[in-house]
Amino acid sequence: MNLVFRLIRIVIAALLRPRIDMLDTSELSLRVWPNDLDLNLHMNNGRYFTVMDLGRIDLMIRTGVAGWMWRRKWRPVVASETMRFPRSLKPFQRYRLKTRVLLG
């Protein structure tokens, strides 16, 4: 599925889903599509970071932070990310993305 269509689907779904508290966990059910794959036929390492952006968008919309930021013309920025790949995701495999705010 094209990333633009996936983004549109996530935004519309987030607007229709119930609000959550800032410290709650956002969960998305996703699937590995052919354009997510690398030459080894598993999810491309870079695509993981793109999918994590979708989780952050869902979290920001459902907590109300997105509207608050939009009104102030602020844009979210990720300063640092670390990734471990314990196992690969295969074509058409379903997976759940959980996103939450860590305090520390």
Residue 96 lies in a domain: no
Q: Measured between alpha carbons, how far is residue 57 from residues 29, 68, 77, 87, 100 in Å?
A: 14, 13, 12, 25, 11
Mean pLDDT for 12-38 is 96
Residue 100 lies in a domain: no
Residue 43 lies in a domain: yes
Exposed e or buried b per residue across 16-39, where buried means at least 16 C-beta atoms within 10 angstroms of its C-beta: eeeebeeeeebebebebbeebbee
Asked which of 1-5, 27-31, 40-44 is least confident by mean pLDDT, the reply is: 1-5
What is the value of pTM for the model shown?
Answer: 0.89
Residue 8 lies in a domain: yes
Residue 104 lies in a domain: no
Return the biggest CA–CA distance within the chain: 43
Residue 58 lies in a domain: yes
Q: Return the structure tokens found at 77.
A: 């920025």
Judge whether 28 and 55 are in contact, CB under 8 Å. yes
Residue 104 has pLDDT above 90, yes or no: no
Mean pLDDT for 2-20 is 94
